[in-house]
Amino acid sequence: MKKKLSRRDFIRNSTLATTVLAAGASISTRSSSIAANEPTGTSSPASKTLLPTGKIGNLNITRLILGGNLLTRYQHVRDLGYVSKLVKSYNSDAKVRETIELAEASGINTLSVNITPSVCKTLNDHRKNGGKIQWILYTTSNIEDTTRYKEDIQKMADDGAEAIYIWGAHGDKYIAQGKLEILSKMVEEIKLHNVPCGMGAHDLRVVQELEKNKIPVDFYIKTFHHHHYPTAPKSGATGSITTEVPGYWCNNPDEVIAFMKTVSKPWIAFKVMAAGAIPPKDAFSYSFNNGADFVLAGMFDFDIAEDCQITRDTVTKAQGRTSRPWRA
C-alpha cells in the first residue's frame, strides 16, 4: 500500500516541486538569452536626461564619453596577469551590449571604440534595435597600407560613424619619425566623408606639430592625468611617453595644461584615471578644471551610474573655470 501523505508532507513536497520548476525555467530563459547573444538588462535608450554637453562640429556630445578599451576586452594590467582573463570572462558580447545600453540610459550619448569585428557587430545590433548613442571610431590598421586604411575609413563612414579619428599610437609614431605627411594625408581622407576628424595622442608633440603646421583636424584626443597616485612615476623617471610599470600615459601633465591653453579646438582627455589608479572623482575634477572639454573613460556596467553623477557634479563646479575656456 502507498504511504498516506500528511497535509504537512503534501504542502512541503508541492512547494519544493514548484521551486525546482521555477528555477529551471529561469535558467532556461537566461541560457537562451545568452545563446542568442541578447542583452539581459532592461534599460532603454535615452531614458534619463543627458549629461552636460559640448559641441564638436555640429555634434552635441556629452562631457563624459564611454571609452572603448573594455568594450573590446583590452586593458592595461601593469603586472597583474590575471586581470586580462577576468575582463575577457566578464565582458561577454551580451555584457558589452548591456553596458552600451546602460550608458545611453544613464545620460551618455557618445562612445569611442576601435572597430574590431566583434564590437562592430554589437554597435550595429544596438542601432538596429533602436539605440541612438553616437560613435567616434578609429582603426588600428597599418596607416601606411593606404588601401586597407581607406577601406576602414569607408566602412566606418558607411556604418554611420558620427566622427572618426586617427589612433594615438599612429600619431605618436609618425610625429616621432618626422612623418607628419602620413598623418596629414589621412586627415584629408577622413574629411572627405563629411564627418569631424580627430587626432589621438599620448605624446604632446603630436598636438604641437599639428597646431604648428595648421593640420585641419576638428578635435584632439590626448591623454591627461596627474602623477599623485602610489604607482605614479617618480620625479625624473618619465623618459618614455608611456609605460606599464610604473603605469603612466601622460608623462608631462603640467606641460599639457600650459600648451592646451593655446589650442582652440575641442579636447577629449583620455586615460584620465591612469588606467584605474586614480579614483574617478579626482580624475574627472582634475581634467575638467585644467582645460579638458570632454572625458573619455573606460567603464564597466557597474561604474556607469557613479561616473555619470560625478560628471554632473564636476562639470557644474567647473563651469566658471579660468585655466582654459570651454572650447566645445
138-196 pLDDT tens trace = 999 999 999 999 999 999 999 999 999 999 999 999 999 999 999 999 999 999 999 99
pLDDT of residue 96: 93
In this structure, what are the phi and psi dihedrals at residue 20, rounded to the nearest 5 degrees?
-65, -45
pLDDT of residue 234: 87
Can you give the residue range of the structural domain that contains 106? 59-318
Mean pLDDT of 78-105: 88
| 101 or 79, which is more confident | 101
Taking the CB of residue 212, how many other CB atoms lie within 10 A of it?
A: 10
Does the pLDDT of residue 79 top 80, yes or no?
Answer: no
Mean pLDDT of 76-86: 78
Does the pLDDT of residue 273 top 60, yes or no?
Answer: yes
Measured N-to-C along each axis, helices 168-176 and 180-191 cross at an angle, to the nearest 10 degrees, of 140
Taking the CB of residue 232, how many other CB atoms lie within 10 A of it?
A: 18
pLDDT of residue 101: 97
pLDDT of residue 17: 40
Cell 551590449 sits on residue: 97
180-214 pLDDT tens trace = 999 999 999 999 999 999 999 999 999 999 999 99
Domain assignment of residue 42, yes or no: no
What's the Cα-to-Cα distance from 304 to each of 8, 40, 67, 288, 297, rounded to whole Å?
Answer: 49, 17, 11, 18, 10
Strand partners, 165: 198
Domain assignment of residue 106, yes or no: yes
Alpha helices in the chain (DSSP H): 7-35, 82-90, 93-105, 117-128, 146-159, 168-176, 180-191, 204-212, 253-260, 280-289, 304-318
AA identity, residue 3: K
| 248 or 6, which is more confident | 248
Taking the CB of residue 10, how many other CB atoms lie within 10 A of it?
A: 10
Q: Report how many domains make up the chain.
A: 1
Preceding omega of 280 cis (within 30 degrees of 0): no
The candidate with the shortest Cα–Cα distance to 59, out of 168, 269, 210, 219, is 219
Domain assignment of residue 102, yes or no: yes
pLDDT of residue 47: 54
Mean pLDDT of 217-230: 97
Mean pLDDT of 118-140: 96
Give the CATH number of the domain where residue 248 resides.
Answer: 3.20.20.70
Contact 220, 268 (CB under 8 A): yes
Domain assignment of residue 235, yes or no: yes
pLDDT of residue 259: 98
Mean pLDDT of 246-269: 96
Domain assignment of residue 279, yes or no: yes
Does the pLDDT of residue 80 top 90, yes or no?
Answer: no
Domain assignment of residue 28, yes or no: no
2-53 pLDDT tens trace = 444 444 443 344 433 433 333 333 333 333 333 333 444 433 444 579 999 9
Q: Which three cell numbers stand for residue 266?
A: 575641442
pLDDT of residue 10: 37
In this structure, what are the phi and psi dihedrals at residue 70, rounded to the nearest 5 degrees?
-70, -25
281-326 pLDDT tens trace = 999 999 999 999 999 999 999 999 999 999 999 999 999 999 899 9
Which among 16-30, 79-93, 263-277 has the top mean pLDDT? Answer: 263-277
The candidate with the shortest Cα–Cα distance to 118, out of 78, 71, 154, is 71
Domain assignment of residue 283, yes or no: yes
Domain assignment of residue 26, yes or no: no
